Amino acid sequence: MKDNEGLYIVPIGKAYDYKKNRRAIKAVKILKEFVLRHSKSEYVVLSMKTNEEIWSRSIQKPPRKIKVKIVKKDGIAYIYLPDEKIEEKKIEEKPAKEEKATEKVNKKEEEIESKEEKISEKPKKAKEDKKKTEKKKEEK
């Protein structure tokens, strides 16, 4: 194993000291506290399979202990089951959506500009109309 990995058997039997309908929730909290204490990291991330293992026997009967593999990366401790494969999520960029979004933004900007032009034309026309009516009144 690497320096930033470790196998631990975590006792989560203390969860049985709590109400039946809160035990699995408390077991997850106990597991996270244990990992924080032993990995000396700032954050803890629990894998889905580890969570499913704790919840496998419902909320009332979580396991008394669980064997986990802790991997520490960039100040974050990741919790996996020992036989679980670690897959890093790759972020794929989707340019098609970005192009559509920029097109929508451009269309909205054009609409706003056209509305602003119309709004700016209205006061000019109103002023011109007032001047014409004043001239007509003066002539009479």
pLDDT of residue 28: 95
CA-closest candidate to residue 51, choices 39, 64, 68: 68
Q: Is the pLDDT confidence value at 14 over 60?
A: yes
Q: What is the pLDDT confidence band of residue 94, given thresholds at 50, 70 and 90?
A: low
The residue type at 68: V
Residue 61 in tokens: 């009967």
- CA 110 from chain center: how many Å? 32
* CB distance 68 to 80 below 8 Å: yes
C-alpha neighbours within 13 Å on the C-beta side of residue 55: 11
Instruction: Please give the Cα distance from 19 to 48 (Å, whole number).
Output: 24
Angle, in degrees to the nearest 10, between helices 48-55 and 23-39: 140
Q: What is the C-alpha R_g of the chain?
A: 33
CATH annotation of 5-80? 3.10.440.10
pLDDT in tens, 34-49: 999 999 998 999 999 9
Q: Please give the share of the chain, as a percent, with pLDDT higher than 70.
A: 79
* Rounded-to-10 torsion of CA 98, 101, 102, 107: 160
| Mean pLDDT, rounded, for 10-37 | 94
pLDDT of residue 7: 94
Q: Which of helix, strand or coil describes residue 56? A: coil
Q: Please give the share of the chain, as a percent, with pLDDT higher than 90.
A: 51
